[in-house]
Chains A and B, each alone.
Chain A
């Protein structure tokens, strides 16, 4: 497994045949344009060096100034930054809706908000946290970091990536604007039929929910595919499968889970929309349909969703643990296999959300067993991280503190998860605050704490400046205390029988004190986020300059400037170790010979990571943005009339043709 490695011959750059395939591009016996020698007029990076190379590449790979330039950008870092900021704004909006709910529940028979608004609030909270923050934040980090960590210059499909961001943004805006206009969904984040069906939810509220799903899932699947292709085909030469950074592995497995899980929720929401808008009967028992089919489709997505939120966080944790433990990770192979096992097992758990729907006993037993089984790969990961810290020389900076917080909170959530996997207990506490406590321990522990650690960790890379360490420690203390004060009492409130999704309760139930404590905790927890926001804004302006590698970390994103230049790297690195920058501390082995005037990057082989092609990657284009607009018009129009598919398709088709049609005098033609 792992071993202490000193800089010795293992890190020597291998012979060229192990770094490149040396194969022709064209089919055998065919004189292909692919194999033409490059234009001798075109400047290449083996002819120029130093600041001139940096400046020329920055011009080639840069984003134009002005509004059109900003909307046309295909730079994964620009899109990734917008993505991360947007997802965090949604995190704050989701948090605000939670604070309002906590204030309402602080005392019995409170009348701060009424039942209708409360229904919208808990729906918006869930929808925002799961679909507009939870899934996108992991993908947003992938968009920014995966290309840097695998040592390439842009994400696999840069225009698709830009399109996906805009579609996600428009979907999120649509649902929040609807909420502001009092047509926010009020049927819970999973919008069960028959409540969300045509009979019990007239009006547009449930349609807004269903169509928001379409927006975010189209975006999610497209980014997942871009991420897979980046991790498979754009790795730096020498980055064999067992040298891929664990963060990239986590995002890769996550992307696969997304590709296979998200179609289920799209199917569920599309069926729901059809039942509501064109009179199909898929979920209507009176005409041969079935309401539980909805739950199966939803949770076939909904359980992997939990891991879609958690898997990127394991990547953040692995990156942070290694850097601050000051040693290579303990148990790289078990960690990777655990990720893959978690990905597979996550598809075998969905029915444990449906234990109270009357299942055959064998089914219940199977899903209990599989729910307990998934604790094994997750346990292995936790032990590997602890072993890494144990054997290393941990440096307790803010990112690591949040990872430690993650260990405690996530493990506690895992324990109540094991409890809930058992059918009798689940039946008792189903839809109570016990479940609310459980999944907030898992999701906030498993995603938000690592995320905050990740932001402290990569902020210097994103902005070039360090975040305040002193504020970071205060932030951690406040967040850890606030979180536990808010959510630990909910276990007890739930065991005392308080159901979820009630806007108020009677004083004689005896839940008042615990609810008051939870509300105080929630306010403290929210306060920690305000401190976080202050730290971000103040540090972005006045933080200490970071330099390229402030933590002396080992992965490739730290070989780029902070913030990275548009080209990421002046030359593509060659990798001989899992922590390339620890193996080559004085000089970085690189590939030369790529164009300086056109956007070329290395395409490599999937397993051995041998350089195969020097392929061009798309230039900026406004068409992905216009396509996203056309998509938005079609999606929103179709909530009101099926004819939107007729009049909405030509503009969309036109925009797509504009997108794919090669432009004169671009590298598409070279």
Chain B
């Protein structure tokens, strides 16, 4: 279409409206990809996932530069990290329950699931503290120690962030605010926890098993 002139047709007037659709009967919120918050969570997971990918890239870059690996330290211990990984993977189950019961808007079960997830997070944080004691290298000892602490620290940051988020949401669901759109938040919180689990798997293999295989 071409328009002949730059002159506006009606100075200062907005065009009148013609109603062609009514939104009254549309729902006030929904779950998963229908909700803008879900997309926001995906966006942050993408940006943070990119951060993980780059840190992992830096790890292998340093392996490549150095040739021998790990640098002047034995590989980190397997006990606490193995326990952490088992609990982490197992937490996918109560997490999926939280998501499902949230979508069913079942307040009693959602509360239970969120309490479980908060406790799981606290337990994991405790194991993580123990995990740091078995690394056999300090961050300021050499580049291997540095990048090891970076990877583990980065994951811990995500663990702590989602744990904080889960605890606040749990408390929220025990107040009078615990209804309606908040159930959609339960689902988005569970989604982010899946990201914390998924990002752990490669990091676990890289930190604990790769030095043994190299």
Contacts and interface: CB of A to CB of B under 8 A. Distances in A.
A193 B50 CA distance: 23
Contacts of B47: 221, 225, 259-260, 262-263
B2 to A, nearest CB: 4
A5 B43 CA distance: 37
Interface string B50-62: 1100110010011
A46 B6 contact: no
Nearest to B43: A225
Contacts of A548: 8, 12-14
B136 interface: no
Interface in A18-35: 19-20, 23-27, 30-35
Interface string B121-161: 00000000000000000011111111101100000000000
A233 interface: yes
Given A293-B61, A327-B1, A280 B140 contact: yes
A100 to B, nearest CB: 36
A237 interface: yes
B1 A583 contact: yes
A602 interface: yes
A593 B164 CA distance: 38
Nearest to A591: B21
A579 B3 CA distance: 11
A550 interface: yes
Given A157-B40, A271-B58, A20 B21 contact: yes
Interface in A328-358: 328
Given A34-B29, A225-B40, A591 B62 contact: no
B66 A288 contact: yes
Contacts of B202: none
A116 interface: no
Interface stretch (B30-38, B112-120, B206-214): B30-38
A420 to B, nearest CB: 26
Nearest to A590: B17
A229 B36 CA distance: 6
Interface residues of B, number: 72
Given A297-B54, A297-B58, A552-B6, A661 B43 contact: no
B135 to A, nearest CB: 14
Contact of B58 (A33, A228, A267): A267
A548 B105 CA distance: 45
B44 interface: yes
Given A46-B22, A287-B143, A327-B2, A612 B17 contact: no
A6 interface: yes
Interface in A243-295: 259-260, 262-264, 266-267, 271, 274-275, 278-282, 284, 287-290, 293
Contacts of B54: 263-264, 267, 297, 300
Given A34-B29, A326-B5, 20 more contacts: A7-B1, A27-B104, A228-B39, A228-B43, A267-B54, A275-B146, A282-B62, A284-B143, A288-B142, A327-B1, A545-B12, A547-B12, A552-B9, A582-B3, A583-B1, A586-B15, A605-B34, A611-B26, A657-B168, A662-B177
Interface of A: 4-7, 13, 16, 19-20, 23-27, 30-38, 44, 46, 49, 156-157, 160, 221, 224-226, 228-229, 232-234, 237, 259-260, 262-264, 266-267, 271, 274-275, 278-282, 284, 287-290, 293, 296-297, 300, 324, 326-328, 392-393, 395, 397, 545, 547-552, 554, 559-561, 570-572, 574, 579, 581-594, 602-603, 605-606, 611-616, 653, 657, 660-662, 668-670
Among all A-B residue pairs, the 6 with the closest Cβ atoms: A25-B27, A288-B143, A279-B140, A225-B43, A280-B146, A593-B24
23 contacts: A23-B27, A25-B28, A25-B34, A32-B105, A156-B39, A225-B47, A259-B50, A281-B142, A281-B145, A287-B141, A288-B71, A327-B2, A393-B4, A547-B13, A560-B14, A582-B1, A588-B15, A589-B17, A590-B17, A592-B19, A593-B26, A612-B30, A668-B181
